[in-house]
Amino acid sequence: MAYVISDECISCGACESACPVSAISQGDDRYVIDADTCIECGACEGACPVGAPVQG
């Protein structure tokens, strides 16, 4: 199951740079993960200072 970014996101961008397949981009109010591109590696989860990326 692909990762999603929760409301805890502070829009710091740490997850975007950590993603090896560029599945993360800036959304309207927080970063978003493209579920079709996400390979479920967990790199975003480890890079996020507030734990916003979670398996959806």
Which CATH number is 3-51's, of 3.40.640.10, 3.30.420.10, 3.40.50.300, 3.30.70.20?
A: 3.30.70.20
21-42 b/e with 16+ CB inside 10 Å = b? eebbeeeeeebbbeeeebeeee
Helix, coil or strand: residue 51: coil
Report CA 18 to chain centroid distance, whole Å: 9
For residue range 3-47, what is the model confidence (pLDDT) as tens digits? Answer: 999 999 999 999 999 999 999 999 999 999 999 999 999 999 999
Rounded to whole angstroms, how far apart are CA atoms 13 and 48?
8
Give the predicted TM-score (pTM) of the model: 0.92
